[in-house]
Amino acid sequence: MPTFVYMTRCDGCGHCVDICPSDIMHIDTTYRRAFNIEPNMCWECYSCVKACPQHAIDCRGYADFAPLGHSVRVRREEDKATISWKIKFRDGREKNFVSPIRTTAWGSIKSPGDYAPPSADAMKSQQLAHEPEALKVDALPALSPDRFKQGLV
Ligand code: SF4
Ligand code: SF4
């Protein structure tokens, strides 16, 4: 579902322009309000929706579930740490979904720079960074060679 902007809510701050990975959120030079210049190229990542402090960006619901008369509102509510979706069907039914933004406290995740640099041997390992300790296991499960198929019989 590509996005569109409610011009009356937008104040032209440009956060959506800065964050859009598809570079399709632009500021109209006459009205100084944002708009999606090419909905067909929208990744539907909703980074702009989440970044907009004015809750000015909505989604165009696809016609198969939300034809004429529908609305899809998505709001990032940082104080509640939730993303909520309100989907209104054209027959008046509403569906509301609320999801947590994250499952850990803000600031509780270390940045890569906070970890000690990996050793040169780590390049030869099949494990990803911080495995297995970050998974809170002693070792990752692995198949022993005798469990591999030895060929067709
Ligand atoms: Fe750009 Fe993503 Fe917003 Fe689409 S949903 S306009 S790709 S930021
Ligand atoms: Fe307008 Fe929201 Fe984009 Fe700011 S982030 S320019 S208020 S649509």
**What are the sequence ranges of the domains in the chain?**
3-100, 112-141
Written as tens digits, the pLDDT of the chain (153 aa) is: 889 999 999 999 999 999 999 999 999 999 999 999 999 999 999 889 888 989 899 888 776 666 667 778 888 787 888 888 888 887 888 999 998 887 887 788 888 888 888 888 888 888 888 889 889 999 988 888 787 777 665
Is 34 in contact with 12 (CB distance < 8 Å)? Answer: yes
CB neighbour list of residue 77: distance below 8 Å, 6 or more residues apart: 83, 84
Is 1 in contact with 48 (CB distance < 8 Å)? Answer: no
Identify the CATH number of the domain defined by range 3-100. Answer: 3.30.70.20
Taking the CA of residue 13 as reference, the ligand 2 atom at the shortest distance is 4
Annotated active-site residue 106? The verdict is: no
Quick one: pLDDT at residue 141? 86
The overall pTM is greater than 0.75: no
Quick one: pLDDT at residue 74? 82
Ligand with minimal distance to 43 CA: 1
Burial of 61 (0-12, 13-18, 19+ CB in 10 A): middle
Nearest CA to ligand 1 atom 4: 42
Quick one: pLDDT at residue 77? 81
Quick one: pLDDT at residue 33? 97
One-letter-per-residue 3-state SS of 98-132: EEECCCCCCCCCCCHHHCCCCCHHHHHCCCCCCCC
What's the 68 CA to ligand 1 centre distance in angstroms? Answer: 22
Tell me which DSSP letter residue 19 carries.
H
Quick one: pLDDT at residue 70? 76
Quick one: pLDDT at residue 35? 96
Helix ranges restricted to H, 25-64? 47-51
Taking the CA of residue 15 as reference, the ligand 2 atom at the shortest distance is 5
Q: Around Cβ 90, how many Cβ atoms within 10 Å? A: 12
